[in-house]
Amino acid sequence: MVSITLSVPEDVRHKMDMFPEINWSGFVRKSIEAKVAQMKKFEELKKELEAERDVIDWSVKLQRASRSGRLGELKKKGLL
């Protein structure tokens, strides 16, 4: 296992000392592991979104084209 050194302000250290029952190293380790898992899931979701980019772009173009056509129809009818 790799060790890291973490610096905290003096007042935070005093507050941590008020709770000796907490394994602060374990707490920080679990927090880092949870954040890494969260970021990994985020990266996976980004990859899935990129894989669907062509479908998303196509649907946006289709919707814009349909709106554009509808705008022209409303202008011809004098409703805009």
Structure-token pair, residue 78: 């004098």
Q: Which residue has the higher pLDDT, 78 or 32?
A: 32
Average pLDDT value over all residues in the chain: 90
How many other CB atoms sit within 10 Å of the CB of residue 24? Answer: 14
| Confidence grade of residue 80 (pLDDT, cut at 50, 70, 90) | low
Which range of residues forms the domain containing residue 69? 48-80
Residue 71 lies in a domain: yes
Residue 14 lies in a domain: no
Alpha-helix runs per DSSP H in 23-52: 24-51
d(CA 80, CA 71): 8
Residue 39 lies in a domain: no
Residue 62 lies in a domain: yes
d(CA 13, CA 11): 5
Task: State in Å, rounded, how far the first CA of the chain is from the last one.
Answer: 69
Residue 53 lies in a domain: yes
Residue 31 lies in a domain: no
Domain count, the chain: 1
* Percentage of the chain modeled with pLDDT above 70: 98
Residue 65 lies in a domain: yes
Q: Return the pLDDT at 71.
A: 72
d(CA 66, CA 55): 16
Helices (H) and strands (E) in the chain, counts: 3, 0
